[in-house]
Structures are given as C-alpha cells and as structure tokens.
Chains A and B, each alone.
Chain A
Amino acid sequence: MRIKETIYKWIFTIFAFASLLFLVGIVVVLFKEGLPIFKHVKLVAFLFGKSWYPTYEPAEYGILPLIMGSVWVTVGAVLVSVPLGVGSALYLDELASYKQKAILKPIIEILASIPSIVFGFFGMVIVAPLIQRIFKLPVGLCALTASIILGVMAIPTICSLAEDALSYVPRSFREASFALGANRWQTLTKVVVPAAGSGVSTSIILGVSRIVGETMTVLMVSGGAAMIPVSFFQPVRPMTATIAAEMGEAAMGSAHYHALFAIGLILFLVTLVFNIIAELISRRFRIKLGLNR
C-alpha cells in the first residue's frame, strides 16, 4: 500500500512539474537563439530601426515597423473587443433572464473554439472585400480588417472572464444598495462595477494578451507590408505574422534566423508582463471581495 502511494505521488508530481520544464526549455531556447542577433545589430537599432529588410544585401533588422504593426492592430482590436466583450458581460449579468444567460453564455464561449485559421479565412473572403468596397481601398487586407477579426476573436475571453468577475460580486452588496433606495443603474455603476473593476480589467488584459499573440489570423488578413503604418487602412506586418511568414525561408543559424527568435523573445516578454499584471490585479480583486483570505 505504502509503495503504491509513493508511486502515485511521484507520477503526479512529475506531471505537475512537466509544464514548468517546458516553460524553462522554451525560455532557454528563445534566449539562446534570439540573443546572437545582437552581434549583428545593436539593441537600440534592432528595436527602433525603421527598416526591416532581412534578405537584402546588406540586411537591415529594424523591427519598429513590425512593433508598430502589432500596436495598431492591437489598439484597433481592443476598441472592438472591449465594448462588445464588457458590454455583453454586463448584459448577461444584469439584464438577461436566467434562460437567456443559459443560452447566450455558451454560445459566446463557442466563439473561442473556432480555429484561428477559420477566422482568417473568413476575414480574407468576407470582411476584407467588404472593407475594400466601403472605404474604396486598393486592397482590403489592412490594419482595420485585422483589428475587426482579432477583436471578435477576443470577445469570448473578455466576456466570459468579465462576466465571472461580475457574478462574483456578492449578492449582499446589491441587496444593501437596493435597501438604501438605489435603483438598478446606480447599483450597477456605483457598487457592482467598482467592486468587479479589477476582475474586469484582468479580463481585458488577458484578451489583449490573446490579441498580441494571435498569429494565423493576422498573417492572413493584415496585408503583410513591413512599413510603419499611419492609418488603419494600410497593410501592416505584425510581429507574429513576420515570424510565421519568414521562418521557413531563414537559413538556420543565420542573422535572419536569430532576428526572428529575438522577435519571439520580445513577444514572450510582452505577454508575460500582461499575464503577470493580470494575475496581480485579480489577486487584489479576490482579496477585495473577501474570496480568499
């Protein structure tokens, strides 16, 4: 009996630590393969260089256009997903009947299970031509199209987590507010939303982190031009799309190859920071509502 228990314990310990092992492995590889680029180009020139011509002679490795591509697309997607995601969470939590909620929430969550290539395909075939026609653009594949598709993709993350945060607000807070003569709107804006605020922010940060890291869709709909964009109607080339598009042609061990790993490293660090912030805020949220003492 004792031996059996020890074996079980070890098996599950190994399972639990496996993901830690993978994480460490990935981080090590990212640093090992990414850092050598700085033998070819200085950090500042890499981050703020305005030209990304990795296959020219001499090659230029300035990723500012790629960073700006990611920034534009992310900002646009946030503008789409935050109102829709938080708005639908508020609706589900405050206005929807029990039945509506039981139907709507799973449907919104199904949106998350659609493969990103399908979103990309949809963007290419339906949304891009539409955008092209409405705004009379030379091409429909641009930052706006990418923003819309990515924004829709982030809705389930934001809506689902924000709705959880709202529903964690204890009923007793609402009752206290109603008992003091507050109406529904006052209770929502003065008690429920402030109490759930940090939980809602966490949902937004995790949604953004999903947008930043999304690859297949942006590769398909963002247009792919490595220029610093000045409007939503220009094609862009976000960081993730660059890695996906170029990794196949970069010779292993070349400067180009290391540059792509360095982009991956930056993406990793950015999403890591987002996730840490989200975790910190949500911990504060749970303490604030007395959910874990």
Chain B
Amino acid sequence: MHNGTRIKISNVSFYYGNLKVLSNISMDIYKNQVTAIIGPSGCGKSTFIRLLNRMNDLITKSKLEGSIYLDNKDIYKAKEDVVAIRRLVGMVFQKPNPFPKSIYENVAYGLEVNNIKDKAFIEHRVIESLRKAALWNEVKDRLHDSALKLSGGQQQRLCIARCLAVDPEVILFDEPCASLDPVSTKKIEELILELKSDYTIVIVTHNMQQAARVSDFTAFLYLGELVEFGHTEKIFTVPKNKKTEEYLTGKFG
C-alpha cells in the first residue's frame, strides 16, 4: 500500500517552556502519500507539523525530546543543516503569505537565497513551478505585478509555486485552505492530489471531509497525543478508538 517510509517520528514530545504540548508521538510518513493530521483546535497539529521542517526552532524556550528521521537521518542532530532540511521539506502556511514583491520575484526568492545565480535557470524554474501549481495561465501576462493583487486562492497557489521552486521532496501544508472560499479550496485539493506523484505530502486540516478527500493516511491528535493513525478509509469507517469515533461523528470538535 505504500512505497517506504520517508519520515520516521520516534517518541517525540515537545515543550513550550514547561508546558508539554506534544506527548510521546511515534508514526511514519510514507513516500508519495498524503498524510492528514486532524484533531480539534489546540491539539498540537500545527506544532507537530512545524517540527518536520524545524520551524519551531524560531521559538525560544522550546524543547524537543525523541527523534525525527528524514530518510534515516536525524534532522535534529545535524544542527548546522537547518537550511538543507528546509529545502528538502517545504511548507505552505495557513494564511497565504506572499512577499510584497512581484509574482515572479516571489517564486524566484527561494532560488536566490540558495545562491542560484543563473538567470535562465531561474526563469525556467519559475515558469515550471507556476505551471505545476496550476497558476501559470492566470498570471503569465502579469508576472511582474505585485503578488498582493492576486485573490486569496491565487496567492495560496503562488505560495505553493514558491515552495515547489526550491525543489523539495516533502511538502507540509498547515491548514492551507483555512482562509479560502470553497472554489479555491477545491483547486488546492486537486493540486495536492496531483502533486502526490512527485512529492510526499503532510497536511494539517481542521476539515474532516478534506482529510477524507485528499489523504491516504490519517493521524488523529487529541490533547497533544496521537490517538490513532492508519489508512484514511479505515480511520473514517472503522475507527478503533472511541475518541476518534466521537470526533469524526461530531460529538466534540
């Protein structure tokens, strides 16, 4: 059912100061599959996904226990390799956050900061990324307009293109549709399904239907603990845990 483990999360606990927000989580994220992380607000979903590209490093006084392996390499061991990890593990955020620059500059940014100077290569990569993000046809005539002129859904696809441009292998989506309308949401979901063949995808979502529509595997987090993890079909049809069933049937949320 899957082609091997890409990320291995092993006994991970995470603290903000003295507050334990994630508790002893172990699970695998499989290659070329979509893994959804679901759970009620405040259960630690966002904190969890941000561990996978070390975004939580920016928070002072946080502490991690356990290990996270990307292709058998402990990403928290090689301290100087944060940049390399973030290039391999891209991220799309909850709210579209394009830079106040042109559409073209937004996509080229990740290449520039990684010291790629070849103009022709950058241009090629920008176009390719915009195509992959299903945005090219809408912006090809105005690549040098400000990215902030785009609609919310277009901005989010631009952020996806920006992420694809640095050629990651894993893409983390942190509630990518939280601020989008249903039509834009549908486009992003279709895009995620298309990207699956080339990338390993992790998506945090608030929306259970979305998890059911796009994911192959689902993890249910509750109060910082991993309650249940498995094939999406199984989780949604025959959940093993009573808490999972209650959440999925809307008893709490």
Contacts and interface: CB of A to CB of B under 8 A. Distances in A.
Contacts of B113: 177, 180-183, 186, 190
Nearest to A186: B113
Contacts of B159: 176
A25 to B, nearest CB: 42
B109 A177 contact: yes
B93 A175 contact: yes
A170 interface: yes
Among A174, A177, A178, A180, which residue has the most Cβ atoms of chain B within 10 A?
A180
A177 B166 CA distance: 12
Contact of B97 (A98, A175, A182): A175
Given A179-B91, A180-B162, A181-B110, A288 B58 contact: no
A91 interface: no
Contact of A181 (B87, B95, B98, B101): B87
Contacts of B163: 179-180
A220 interface: no
Interface in B80-119: 83-84, 86-87, 90-91, 93, 95, 97-101, 109-110, 112-114
A176 B99 contact: yes
A180 B100 contact: no
Contacts of A170: 97
Nearest to A290: B148
A111 interface: no
Given A175-B58, A176-B159, A190-B109, A181 B97 contact: no
B53 interface: yes
Interface string B167-203: 0000000000000000000000000000000000000
B58 A180 contact: no
B148 A181 contact: no
Q: How large is the interface on B (under 10, 10 to 19, 20 to 34, 35 or more residues)?
A: 20 to 34
B126 to A, nearest CB: 14
Given A173-B97, A176-B97, A181 B109 contact: no
Nearest to B58: A178
Contacts of B58: 174-175, 178
Given A178-B55, A179-B53, A179-B90, A173 B110 contact: no
A172 interface: yes
Interface in B45-95: 53, 55, 58, 60, 83-84, 86-87, 90-91, 93, 95
A180 B166 contact: yes
Contacts of A174: 58
Given A172-B95, A190-B109, A181 B86 contact: yes
Given A179-B86, A179-B163, 18 more contacts: A175-B58, A175-B93, A175-B97, A176-B99, A176-B162, A177-B109, A178-B55, A178-B58, A179-B53, A179-B55, A179-B93, A180-B166, A181-B83, A181-B86, A181-B114, A182-B83, A182-B109, A194-B101
Interface of A: 97-98, 170, 172-183, 186, 190-191, 194-195, 288-290
18 contacts: A170-B97, A172-B97, A175-B97, A176-B97, A178-B86, A179-B55, A179-B93, A180-B90, A180-B163, A180-B166, A181-B83, A182-B110, A182-B113, A190-B112, A194-B101, A195-B100, A288-B100, A290-B148
Interface of B: 53, 55, 58, 60, 83-84, 86-87, 90-91, 93, 95, 97-101, 109-110, 112-114, 148, 159, 162-163, 166
The list of the 10 closest CB pairs from A to B, nearest first, reads A180-B110, A172-B97, A182-B113, A179-B91, A181-B87, A181-B86, A181-B83, A186-B113, A176-B97, A288-B100
